[in-house]
Amino acid sequence: MKKDFYLTRYALIIKKLETAPATYSQLEDYLLSSFEFQDAGISSYSIRTLQRDVREIANLFNLSIHNKKKGDNRYYIESRPMMEVDEYNQKLLESFQVSNALNVHPDFADLIFFESRKPTGVEHFYDLFFAIRNRRIVSFEHYNYKNKLMTSRKVHPLALKESKDRWYLISVDTKDKSLKSFGLDRINYLNVSDKKFREKYKYNFREHFKNAFGVMNLSEQIPEKIVLKCSIHQGEYIRSFPLHQSQKEIKETVNDIFFEYFLHPTYDFMQEILSFGKEAVVLEPEILVQNIRNHLQESLDHYLKN
């Protein structure tokens, strides 16, 4: 068994058991018939390897797989993890599957094409992760796109959040004690201090961002119902890849699909809707409808001037 193949095995085992419980023989047949095993030239999978994989899956993914000792001897996933753990696991599995495809086939350059526009700042990820876990004060220079200024910041780092393929540091600014977000791609001269902050913040970020779209400051807005009408074509894409966890499909006609959301009507969300062009129209709330109208009118005015 190839030593660098274990992550792919884990992903395949989880995928199989998420569908239904399976015996060792059923798992063995599933794995050996997979394209991943065939491409790697692997033709055997022992019960001892499965038992070791089950232990490692529990350690790595916090996912318990058990074996019914009586009856049909099937392996099964005891319970699903909490939502936040599940999201993390899904990201890992996706990364493992892509990574393995590239490792097995080094001639992938003419077959697989990645997005060429990659944001910077990921090099700060682990340093900030360390600072969050160990309650270390952090200082850095941060660039503001709006006023084009570089400012010095000292913060208490609390969390990291992803939004549209960018990572943001969620932290309390020591200057005004406000909760703020900072794009990792705009952070320079990062310094993780040896000094720890003593404050015990009670933010529940799972709840804080539950009704959020992006990482905008939510303190001045309350979440509300948003109704979106989409063309059938655009609606199919949104149906398969929801804009937000609160998305509900409320109606479908011959020409349109209607979705409902419960979230903060932030600028980030408005920009997302505008990216659909004429294929999507906000029906409510009225304030968001008016904001979009004003934005579109200003855009049209700019084009007419030129």
Contact in structure between 159 and 132 (CB atoms under 8 Å): yes
113-117, 152-156, 160-164, 166-170 — most confident range: 152-156
Residue with the bigger pLDDT between 3 and 175: it is 175
Tens digit of each residue's pLDDT (9 = 90 or more) over 17-73: 888 899 999 999 999 998 888 888 889 999 999 999 999 888 877 788 888 766 668
Question: Span 240-252, mean pLDDT?
Answer: 93
Band of the pLDDT at 3, cuts 50, 70, 90? low
CB atoms closer than 10 angstroms to residue 74: 16
Is a pLDDT exceeding 80 seen at residue 79? no
> Per DSSP, what are the bridge partners of residue 5?
none
Question: Contacts for 15-23 with beta carbons within 8 Å, 24 or more apart?
Answer: 15/93, 17/65, 17/75, 17/76, 17/77, 18/77, 21/68, 21/74, 21/75, 21/76, 22/74, 22/75, 23/72, 23/73, 23/74, 23/75
Among 38-52, 79-93, 151-165, 198-212, name the one with the lowest average pLDDT.
Answer: 79-93
Tokens for 117? 């526009």
How many Å apart are CA 224 and CA 112, to the nearest integer? 41
Give the per-residue pLDDT at 220.
Answer: 62
Among 62-71, 145-154, 223-232, name the one with the lowest average pLDDT.
Answer: 62-71
Band of the pLDDT at 82, cuts 50, 70, 90? very low
The rounded mean pLDDT for the chain is: 86
How many Å apart are CA 188 and CA 191, to the nearest integer? 9
Tokens for 48? 């001892």
Is the pTM higher than 0.75? The answer reads no
Quote the percentage of the chain above a pLDDT of 70: 85
Q: Considering Cα of 57, then 61, then 62, then 63, what sign does the dihedral take?
A: negative
Is a pLDDT exceeding 60 seen at residue 80? no
Give the per-residue pLDDT at 112.
Answer: 72
Question: Span 142-160, mean pLDDT?
Answer: 92
Question: Span 166-194, mean pLDDT?
Answer: 93
